[in-house]
Amino acid sequence: MAFGGFDSKGSSSTMSEINMVPLIDVMLVLLVIFIITAPLLSHSIRIDVPRVSAQPVEQEPLVVDLAIDSHGGMFWNEQPVAMAELAARFAQEAARDPQPQVRIRADLDTRYALLAEIMGAARRAGIKRLGFITQPGESAAPGTADEPVKPASAAAPATH
């Protein structure tokens, strides 16, 4: 704030000084408040908490791999299985506690109808954790159209 003052000649000039009294009053009030509340913040109650020394139980996640080749052949953990007994195996795995994760690994040329039938049988049996295993494809360069990834069997033959 600027205050004007008159000197002996009658001319006015501005005086630019800050009035410090209100600021000091506020500072003193805050200091008193902190002095009163600081001991209350550090006051604590001592409680004896029981201590245990238990090791965490490590369980390996149960995983069932269901592989499907391009001709519709199915393999349950690398063992051949028929479609007729697949529902019974799904029901047996759904009854386990904890329930295993069923991972489906299908060939690129596998019919979608077969995959839908297998997923439906798993859901009817009560399988809750169902996933797919895929191979990551190569990223397309920016500005180019995405092309389907060719399977490894369709790669160009190597020359010796």
Q: What is the pLDDT of residue 137?
A: 67
Confidence of residue 97 (pLDDT cuts 50, 70, 90): confident
Instruction: List pLDDT tens digits, range 18-34.
Output: 888 999 999 999 999 99
Residue 142 has pLDDT above 60, yes or no: no
Instruction: For strands 79-81 and 63-68, give the pairing.
Output: unpaired
Domain boundaries, the chain: 63-132
Query: What topology does CATH give the domain 63-132?
Result: Nucleotidyltransferase; domain 5 (3.30.420)
| Count of CB atoms situated within 10 Å of the CB of 95 | 10
What is the H or E stretch that residue 102 is in?
A: strand 101-106
The segment with the largest mean pLDDT, out of 1-5, 13-17, 58-62, 121-125, is 121-125
Confidence of residue 13 (pLDDT cuts 50, 70, 90): low
